[in-house]
Homo-oligomer: A and B are copies of this chain.
Amino acid sequence: MSDAPTTMAQVARLAGVSTATVSHVINQTRKLSPATEARVRSAIAELAYIPDPSARSLRAGSSDVVGVAMPAISNPYLATFVHELEEALAAVGKSMLLADTHDDPEVEVKAVRDLIARRLGGLVLAPSGTPDYAIELGRRYAVPLVMIDLMQERDDCDQIVVESVEAVEKVTAHLIDKGHRRIGMVSGLPGIRTTDQRTAGYRLAHERAGLPLDAALSPSGRSSRAGGRAAADALLDLADPPTALVTGNNAMTIGSLEAIKARGLTVPGDVAMVCFDDFDWAELFEPQLTAIAPQVTLHARRVVEMLGRRTEDPSMPAQHETLTPKIMHRNSCGCDPTTAVPL
């Protein structure tokens, strides 16, 4: 019962051919007489032979596994993204090695080193801080690298990002239009790219409207539910609390709602809300969140395509793609979605 795994040599022996022939049958890399090919195939079937990917990738210096390093899989948006990525990768015969960087640059470095050392067939990274080390390692190990959510003008890495500044500016301006003068921003730790982009949009809206910026109105914390809860708590405890909130990501949106609920306040009655990252169930529950919705499926597909192109031509110039998110105008901002205009 407890046979060791079948090897190519065993298949070869059973089929009465050399291992080279077996290899060629498997990879369709040489014309063979139908007779031998048939013999080999039946031997493969009989022994339930499966090639050893370790040996393969040792030999080849790369593999069909794509590494994915994300700041937080628990974040519903990223979970969806990961799912879509898995699907898109599976469609081209690739597998996914998943690592969570916990939104921590140090953990990220470790994870990326680990992933790249595996001489993977690619790496998808949502970098927290400066990803120079990743770019260098990727080059060194010849691992195609695609950054998401980076949004930086650098010509030495492929990026596919979601436009954030304008989007956040737009929803913030909407709140201002509706008469809000003290708007809070619940966002992640500064220094992390996505956070900085979103905060920039928030500030931009204020500048354009000639509204003063109150530092107390944009506390920051970890991009987690707890972080969002804490930041929103701080905002609501202000002597002059905000009448509206902009949240920087999915997890923090939930945390903020928690803080609001805990005070017995309602949305949008007491506090209006607008958030980055959509929930796919958003229209089924009250309040229905007005949200900036990145196009996840598209994003994932583009990443896989990019990885493919980069793999084919490692020397092509770095590619940058920007995806424009949709804005889902619902009722948490205080509008009636049935009559409201698109933002």
Contact = CB atoms under 8 A, between A and B. Distances in A.
A286 B284 contact: no
A73 interface: yes
A98 interface: yes
A76 B15 CA distance: 48
A66 B247 CA distance: 35
B100 A5 contact: no
A139 B258 contact: no
A154 interface: no
A73 B90 CA distance: 13
Interface stretch (A113-121, A165-173, A187-195, A233-241): A113-121
Contacts of A114: 50, 95
Can you tell how many copies of this chain the complex includes?
2
A146 interface: no
B287 A119 contact: no
Interface in A1-34: 1-5
Most buried by B among A1, A79, A257: A79
Contact of A96 (B48, B51, B98, B261): B98
Given A139-B2, A281-B254, A286-B286, A90 B100 contact: yes
A178 interface: no
A46 to B, nearest CB: 14
A73 B63 contact: no
Nearest to A97: B97
Contacts of A225: 280
Interface stretch (A52-60, A204-212, A323-331): A52-60
Interface stretch (A81-89, A122-130, A214-222): A81-89
A236 B219 CA distance: 47
Interface residues of A, number: 55
A70 to B, nearest CB: 10
A57 B63 CA distance: 14
A283 interface: yes
Contact of A58 (B48, B54, B74): B54
A188 to B, nearest CB: 18
A65 interface: yes
A311 interface: no
Nearest to A73: B83
A51 to B, nearest CB: 7
A117 B7 CA distance: 11
A118 B53 contact: yes
A117 B57 contact: no
A80 interface: yes
Given A2-B139, A52-B117, A74-B79, 16 more contacts: A1-B139, A3-B140, A52-B58, A52-B119, A54-B54, A54-B63, A55-B58, A74-B83, A79-B83, A86-B98, A95-B98, A95-B99, A96-B98, A97-B98, A261-B283, A285-B286
